[in-house]
Amino acid sequence: MSLLEKLDAAASARIAQLPSGLGAFGIPIEEIYSPTEARIGTKRILLLGTNNYLGLSFSPECRKAAHEAIDQEGTGTTGSRMANGNYSGHRALEMEFADFYQCRSCIVFTTGYQANLGTISGLIGPGDVALIDGDSHASIYDGCVLSGADIIRFRHNDVIDLEKRLRRLGERSKNTLIIVEGIYSMLGDQAPLADIVRLKKAYNSTLLLDEAHSLGVLGETGRGLAEKYGLIGEVDFITGTFSKSLCGIGGYCVSNHPQLDQLRYVSHPYIFTASPSPATIAATRAALKLLKNGRELRERLWENARQLYSHLQALGYQVSPEPGPIVATILDSPQQALALWKGLLENGIYVNLILPPAAPEGKSLVRCSVNAAHTTKQIEYVCEVFSRLYSSIIQ
Ligand code: PMP
**Mean pLDDT, to the nearest integer, of 370-388?**
97
At 58, give phi and psi (nearest 5°).
Answer: -110, 20
7 domain-assigned: no
Query: What angle do the packed helices 138-147 and 112-123 form, to 10 degrees?
Result: 30
H/E stretch holding 150: strand 150-154
357 domain-assigned: yes
Q: What is the CATH number of the domain that holds 263?
A: 3.40.640.10
Cα gap 314→339, rounded to integer Å: 20
Write the single-letter amino acid at 241. T
DSSP codes, 242-278: SSSTT-SS-EEEEESSGGGGGHHHH-HHHHTSPPPPH
Domain end (from 274, 292, 310): 292
209 domain-assigned: yes
Q: Return the best residue to mutate from 51, 190, 215, 241 for the ligand 1 pocket (most ligand atoms within 8 A of CB).
A: 241
- Cα–Cα distance list, 150 to 126, 178, 267, 270 (Å): 7, 12, 18, 22
109 and 77 share a domain? Answer: yes
9 domain-assigned: no
Q: What is the CATH number of the domain that holds 327?
A: 3.90.1150.10
The predicted structure's pLDDT at residue 25: 59
- Is the pLDDT at 319 greater than 70? The verdict is yes
Largest CA distance in the chain: 61
The predicted structure's pLDDT at residue 363: 87
- Is the pLDDT at 16 greater than 90? The verdict is no
Q: Return the best residue to mutate from 57, 113, 120, 326 for the ligand 1 pocket (most ligand atoms within 8 A of CB).
A: 113
> Could you tell me whether strands 349-350 and 43-47 are parallel, antiparallel, or unpaired per DSSP bridges?
parallel
DSSP single-letter state for residue 205: -
- Cα–Cα distance list, 274 to 73, 262, 264, 271, 277 (Å): 15, 19, 14, 8, 8
Please, is 96 exposed, middle or buried when counting C-beta atoms within 10 Å of its C-beta (0-12, 13-18, 19+)? middle
CA-nearest residue, atom 13 of ligand 1: 112
Task: Provide the H-helix boundaries in 77-148.
Answer: 88-101, 112-123, 138-147
**Is any ligand 1 atom within 6 A of the Cβ of residue 241?**
yes
Distance from the alpha carbon of residue 235 to the mean position of ligand 1, in angstroms = 19
The predicted structure's pLDDT at residue 361: 78
- Catalytic positions: 185, 213, 244
Q: Return the best residue to mutate from 137, 217, 354, 367 for the ligand 1 pocket (most ligand atoms within 8 A of CB).
A: 137
- Is the pLDDT at 350 greater than 80? The verdict is yes
242 and 339 share a domain? Answer: no
316 and 302 share a domain? Answer: yes
Cα gap 11→231, rounded to integer Å: 43
**Mean pLDDT, to the nearest integer, of 126-153?**
98
33 and 158 share a domain? Answer: no
Starting at the edge strand found earlier in the chain, the sheet holding 364-369 runs 326-331, 364-369, 352-354
The predicted structure's pLDDT at residue 36: 98
**Is any ligand 1 atom within 6 A of the Cβ of residue 280?**
no
Q: Per the confidence metrics, is the pTM higher than 0.90? A: yes
- Reported as a single tens digit per residue, the pLDDT across 237-296 is 999 999 999 999 999 999 999 999 999 999 999 999 999 999 999 999 999 999 999 999
**Is any ligand 1 atom within 6 A of the Cβ of residue 369?**
no
Determine contact, residues 46/350, Cβ cutoff 8 Å.
yes
The least confident of 124-128, 194-198, 222-226, 331-335 is: 331-335
Residues 6+ apart with CB under 8 A from 282: 65, 66, 68, 69, 89
Tell me what percent of the residues of the chain surpass a pLDDT of 70.
98
DSSP single-letter state for residue 154: E
**Residue 349 three-state SS:** strand
- Is the pLDDT at 20 greater than 70? The verdict is no
274 domain-assigned: yes
Cα gap 179→145, rounded to integer Å: 14
- Is the pLDDT at 167 greater than 90? The verdict is yes
pLDDT-derived band at 15 (thresholds 50, 70, 90) equals: confident
**Is any ligand 1 atom within 6 A of the Cβ of residue 244?**
no
**Residue 7 three-state SS:** helix
| Nearest Cα to Cα of residue 371 among 293, 314, 313, 301 | 301
65 and 31 share a domain? Answer: no
For residue 24, the enclosing domain spans: 17-54+295-394
pLDDT-derived band at 214 (thresholds 50, 70, 90) equals: very high
**Is any ligand 1 atom within 6 A of the Cβ of residue 223?**
no
ipTM confidence: 0.99
| Nearest Cα to Cα of residue 193 among 141, 232, 248, 150 | 232
**Is any ligand 1 atom within 6 A of the Cβ of residue 210?**
yes
Distance from the alpha carbon of residue 113 to the mean position of ligand 1, in angstroms = 5
Rg (CA), the chain: 21
Domain end (from 292, 317, 343): 292
**Is any ligand 1 atom within 6 A of the Cβ of residue 243?**
yes
The predicted structure's pLDDT at residue 393: 84
What total of structural domains would you count in the chain?
2
209 and 133 share a domain? Answer: yes
